[in-house]
Amino acid sequence: MRVAWLNHRDASHPRGGGAERSISEIGRRLRSRGHDVTLVTANFPGGTPRQYVDGVDVRRYGRDLGPHLAAYRVIRELDPDVVIGDLAHILPWGAPILTKVPCVLFFHHLHARTLPGQVSPPLAVVLKWIERQYRFSYPRNQWITESKSSAVDLTQLGIRAERIHRIPPGIDSDFFRPVPKSDKPSLVYFGGFRRYKHPEVVVEIVRRLVRDGFAITVDMVGAGPEYERVRELARKDARVESSIRFLGRIPYSDLPQVVGRAWVNIHCAVAEGWCISAMEAAAAGTPTVGYRVPGLTESVSDGSSGILVEVGNIDQLVSATRRALLSMATLAEGGRQLALTHSWDATAQGWERVLEGATRES
């Protein structure tokens, strides 16, 4: 089976995250199962126009709209058996509509929840409208999504339930595995520095813990438009600033050690499709404290692999962080057991079934 995967970024992109990690993990496993996989995506400073990564043919075109403009020509050139239209960045792919190649859509989460604060209000209105047009753009296509909440969102957008396939992402529990914890209580944040993820809440948690005489250290990993603002907030209190290490983007190979040494992972997003970082932390034996929001309620087992609290209630979040630090060993074991129930091999097999079904349906 020849697969063309259309997305705006790949795992090497400076702004790549969990969505791009899924492409990498699923793509290379489809390749190992004998399928040809080509990823059509955007280029970035320092990127190469073409690169083979674990057998996946990564072709990069232009910048943001580059892969959209190139998709039709590339599909004609590749003559794939099936196209994956990845909707991680809202804009629908016109190429599958203009060709007769069967197309499977990958829906990560409802962007209407995450747009406020990330784009201007007029642009948010336009993008929300585009999202509501999916049922007209792809009236007879198969859809893949990762969580129950995202499947519900799709039905509310008008997609027929029988065309929606829920396939949770996997976890590499050999790569993310328990390592010796830091000697003193420590936190980690590696959820991305975007407005809807509210990384500034971590600074407030540290401020309150330090104020109460709690000795704590924090590693904040990642980049994004909120990075400098959060650093400035930390600088306002010398005790907070000295407690936080801003590591920026680090090599993915270093992430398991940083996450595994922490006692608790803090995740403050107010919307998720699925939280891969929470599952990665669980596999590394690090429980997650976060808000009780769609997606996170499926990737964190409240009271077993972490603690979830009311959205926006920082008092509860601080209290939950304290409780998680005190019960870290028990929560870590629960998280590890949860992570072991998910594997990328099972995820790739689910994708393979849907893709092959789409080719037979065409």
Calculate mean pLDDT across residues 295-312: 95
Question: How far is 243 from 266, CA to CA, in rounded Å?
Answer: 15
CB 263 within 8 Å of CB 181: yes
Angle in degrees, 0-180, between the axes of helices 328-339 and 276-283, rounded to the nearest 10: 110
- For residue 49, the model assigns a pLDDT of 95
Angle in degrees, 0-180, between the axes of helices 276-283 and 18-32, rounded to the nearest 10: 70
| pLDDT tens digits for range 323-361 | 999 999 999 999 999 999 999 999 999 999 999 999 987
- For residue 18, the model assigns a pLDDT of 77
Calculate mean pLDDT across residues 253-263: 97
Architecture in CATH of 2-170+343-361: 3-Layer(aba) Sandwich (3.40)
The yes-or-no verdict on residue 362 having pLDDT over 70 is no
- For residue 361, the model assigns a pLDDT of 77
- For residue 156, the model assigns a pLDDT of 95
- For residue 115, the model assigns a pLDDT of 79
Residues contacting residue 327 through CB under 8 Å, at least 6 positions apart: none
Looking at 3.20.20.70, 3.40.50.2000, 3.30.70.1880, 3.40.50.1000, the CATH number of the domain 186-339 comes to: 3.40.50.2000
Tokens of 102: 């069967």
| pLDDT tens digits for range 112-166 | 888 777 778 888 899 899 999 999 989 889 999 999 999 999 999 999 999 999 9
State the pTM of this model: 0.90
- Going from the C-alpha of 88 to that of each of 114, 200, 237, the distances in angstroms are 12, 24, 37
| pLDDT tens digits for range 59-106 | 999 988 899 999 999 999 999 999 999 998 888 898 777 788 999 999
The yes-or-no verdict on residue 215 having pLDDT over 70 is yes
The residue extents of the domains of the chain are 2-170+343-361, 186-339
Calculate mean pLDDT across residues 166-170: 95
- For residue 123, the model assigns a pLDDT of 87
Q: Do domains 2-170+343-361 and 186-339 have the same CATH topology?
A: yes
- For residue 12, the model assigns a pLDDT of 87
- Tell me how crowded residue 241 is: count the other CB atoms within 10 A of its CB: 15
| pLDDT tens digits for range 19-57 | 888 899 999 999 999 999 999 999 999 999 999 988 899
Amino acid identity of 108?
H
Q: Which of 13, 150, 114, 31 is nearest to 5 (CA)?
A: 31
The overall average pLDDT reported for the chain is 93
Residues contacting residue 126 through CB under 8 Å, at least 6 positions apart: none
